Structure 1
Amino acid sequence: MMRVTTDNGLLLPVPDADGRPFWEYAARGELRVQACGGCGAPRFPPRPCCPACQSFAVEWRRMSGRGHIWSYVLPHPPLLRAYAEQAPYNVVVVELADAPGIRLVGNVVAAPDAGLDSVPASRLRAGASVRVAFAEIAPGVTMPRWLLEQP
């Protein structure tokens, strides 16, 4: 059976064949998004066929790692004990600067390895600029996280 949580109960990604390269690049500190090898349209989440042209050709495009908070929420109450211990924390949807329309879910943190509760909710707002950072949250699992850009 595949383990889907860390030792402290935090959820781990379970990559499929289409999404595995995303996590492999993240482990190298790179944010890449799947794009169509035919028409060039970026897509996320990763999938085998382009929704625009139906091509099965795939490439992985390196992103700058910059974007803005498109939306966010403070889960109340968190459903899993490991997350309740870090409440209040944020969950953000970030739209990438170099791929408008591509949005990734994550957390805004004070530093790559900081806790999910390390940024006060009062500092968050839709439209705030962020940049990606990477943290190894379990052996062999690197997670993209988001840092607020200074105004």
Structure 2
Amino acid sequence: MSTTKPRPRIDTVSKGFWDAARAGTLTVQRCDDCGHNHYPGSPVCPNCLSSNQSWAPVSGRGTLLSWVRFHRAYWDGFRDDLPYAVILVGLEEGPLMISNLMGAEPESLKIGDPLEVCFDAVDETTTLPKFRPAGNTR
């Protein structure tokens, strides 16, 4: 029997991100005063310190910047997935996002290859944005 994987802690700052992901839209926090895009969300803009922020949809396109393969389960819930890849994606709109790769092995890609978001509905309240090679519809 597999242990449940940890779920994100949804709070007032991150709620907009997780609601949009559940609806199949990738968002980043955008400052309503200076227009700075950032992820993860924060109570104030890291550029101008304004608290006027909202979650804005982004293209879901990005670039593979780095990856690592985990061979150890630091949380019991990931034991059945070993080994698994974690990737660093540079979103087209600027922010960086850590995620998982779907539809390919990272060894088959080159740093700089284009990626696109896909969504993994893990339960009725949590949908995780993950990434696949651009153009891969699996």
TM over 0.5: yes
Q: Do 2:67 and 2:106's aligned partners in 1 also have CA atoms closer than 8 Å?
A: no
Counterpart residue identity of residue 124, structure 2? P
Q: Do 1:135 and 1:145's aligned partners in 2 also have CA atoms closer than 8 Å?
A: yes
The separation in 2 between residues aligned to 1:18 and 1:39, in whole angstroms, is 18
Q: Do 1:69 and 1:92's aligned partners in 2 also have CA atoms closer than 8 Å?
A: yes
Q: Which runs of 5+ in 2 are unaligned?
A: none
Q: Deviations over 1:95-147 (max 9, x none)?
A: 101x22x111110112xxxxxxxx33422332121100111112221110111
Runs of 4+ in 1 over 3 A off after TM superposition: none
Distance change (3 Å), C-alpha of 1:120 and 1:105: same
Cα-Cα RMSD: 1.8
Q: Deviations over 1:47-99 (max 9, x none)?
A: 111121121111222101000111111012222333221122100111101x2
TM-score by length of 2: 0.89
Percent identity at matched positions? 28
Answer with 78-87 or 21-30: which moved more: 78-87
Alignment partner, residue 4 of structure 1: none
Q: Which structure: greater strand fraction?
A: 2
Count of residue pairs the alignment pairs up: 135
Please give the secondary structure, in 2, of the residue aligned with 1:59: strand
Q: Which runs of 5+ in 1 are unaligned?
A: 1-6, 111-118
